[in-house]
Amino acid sequence: QHHAPLLYVFVSVSSESRGQITVTQPGAVSSAVGGSVSIKCRTSQNVYVSGSTHYLAWYQQRDGETPKMLIYVASTRVSGIPARFTGSGSNSDFTLTISGVQAEDAAVYYCQKTELTAAAGRYCRD
């Protein structure tokens, strides 16, 4: 009988307070290769800068590598990021979903409240 190998997706245990906003994430989640996994992120305050735009980003950090942004403004994929990575949520509850998990998805995933620097058009740590 064939058993699919388990892929462990390690999620940072973080409760960081900057600018009076605390971001919390779970410890670790796991999935079989080909399965689906959802990673939750909760902020202590609603995340938005103007209107209904939610400035929440998701990063992936593989072992020995620098963090790579996957998602910005809660649900927009960075160019080149596979469609299996989906961001959703609003206000203070956000989710990163990985559908059709691949072995290379084993990593630490961070959520972060960000601000858009209008002049540079880049996202900066809050």
Sheet holding 36-43, edge to edge: 15-18, 21-24, 36-43, 93-99, 85-90
Q: What span, in angstroms and rounded, lies between the C-alpha atoms of 19 and 42? A: 16
pTM summary value: 0.78
What are the structural domains, with CATH classification, of the chain? 6-117 (2.60.40.10)
State the maximum Cα–Cα separation within the chain, in Å, rounded to a whole number: 58
Nearest to 58 by CA among 3, 16, 113, 15: 113
Q: What span, in angstroms and rounded, lies between the C-alpha atoms of 18 and 61? A: 21
Residue 57 has pLDDT above 80, yes or no: yes
Q: Average pLDDT of 7-35?
A: 66
> Cα-flanking dihedrals φ and ψ of residue 103, to 5°?
-55, -35
Residue 16 has pLDDT above 60, yes or no: no
Q: Give 124 or 27, the one with higher predicted confidence.
A: 27
For 59-118, the pLDDT digits (tens) are: 999 889 999 999 998 999 999 999 999 999 988 899 999 999 998 999 988 888 876 544
C-alpha angle 86-23-66 in degrees, rounded to nearest 5: 65
pLDDT at 52: 73
Return the amino acid letter for 66.
Answer: T
Q: Report DSSP letters for 83-95, one per residue.
A: TTEEEEEETTEEE
